Amino acid sequence: MPLPTQLSKVWGYKPVYGTETEAKNISYSSGARPVISGGNIYAYQNYIFQMEPGTGIHVIDNSTPSAAVRIGFITVNGCSQISIKDGKIYTNSYDDLVVLNFSNLNNIEETSRLKGVFTEYRYASPIAQPPATGYYECPAFNKFVTGWTRDSVEQYCYKN
């Protein structure tokens, strides 16, 4: 019996790549978006924020707690963390620090971006992992993952 020359393929996740510009584009959409894999929470004024690691930030209006409601979602690919001061959201997009002005929710502006500051987040950003357990195609280190799609993949990378 000859040894197999390569691992057999299995059904798993394959990364979807974007250009750096696409991957790092910040945008806001109003309305609730389902929480897929809820992350850290943060309270600021009458808002509650919850990270959707890898893809963005859920915004909850908590002006009246008994009627608290999800009102929108800020797309920030590669994000995982949040902190807020003086109306500015500090978050990460891959290894960049991104500062967002959210004084007007419908016009979320990128105030500034400090590229590559969080050296270790580059390959540790949540989007470097698919949304569910199992085998996945290892992402290329020099590309920006913007999502995942189901496909036939080799058994090199595995998410617990």
Partner 1 sequence: MKKLYFFIYAVVFIALVSCEKSSDSSASLTNATGVGGSLAKFTISGNYLYAVSSHYLYTVNISNPSNPVRTNQTQLNFDMETIYPYKNSLFVGSRTGLYVYSLEDPAVPKLIGEAKHGRSCDPVIANDSVSYSTLKGSTFCGPATSGLYVYEVKNLNLPQLKTTIPINEPIGLGMSDSALYVCCASEGLRVFSIKNAYAPVERKLITGNNYIDVIAYNNILICWSSEGIVLFDITNRLLPVFIKKIAS
Q: Which residues bind partner 1 (CB under 8 A)?
A: 34-35, 37-38, 40-46, 48, 50, 53, 60, 62, 65-70, 80-86, 88, 90-92, 97, 99, 111-112, 114, 117-121, 123-124, 126, 128-129, 158-160
Smallest gap, in angstroms, from Cβ of residue 35 to partner 1? 4
Q: What phi, psi does 105 have (nearest 5°)?
A: -60, -30
Nearest residue (CB) to partner 1, 19 versus 43: 43
Q: Are 24 and 144 in contact (CB under 8 A)?
A: yes
Smallest gap, in angstroms, from Cβ of residue 42 to partner 1? 5
Smallest gap, in angstroms, from Cβ of residue 81 to partner 1? 4
Smallest gap, in angstroms, from Cβ of residue 147 to partner 1? 17
Nearest residue (CB) to partner 1, 23 versus 127: 127
Nearest residue (CB) to partner 1, 16 versus 97: 97
> Half-sphere exposure (CA, 13 Å, Cβ side) for 66?
0
Among candidates 12, 5, 3, 36, which has minimal Cα distance to 156?
Answer: 12
Among candidates 55, 24, 49, which has minimal Cα distance to 105?
Answer: 49
**Other residues' Cβ atoms within 10 Å of the Cβ of residue 159:** 13
Smallest gap, in angstroms, from Cβ of residue 108 to partner 1? 14
Nearest residue (CB) to partner 1, 19 versus 132: 132
**What distance in Å separates the CA atoms of residue 24 and residue 53, rounded to the nearest whole number?**
14
**What distance in Å separates the CA atoms of residue 73 and residue 12, rounded to the nearest whole number?**
27
**What distance in Å separates the CA atoms of residue 93 and residue 82, rounded to the nearest whole number?**
11
Nearest residue (CB) to partner 1, 4 versus 120: 120
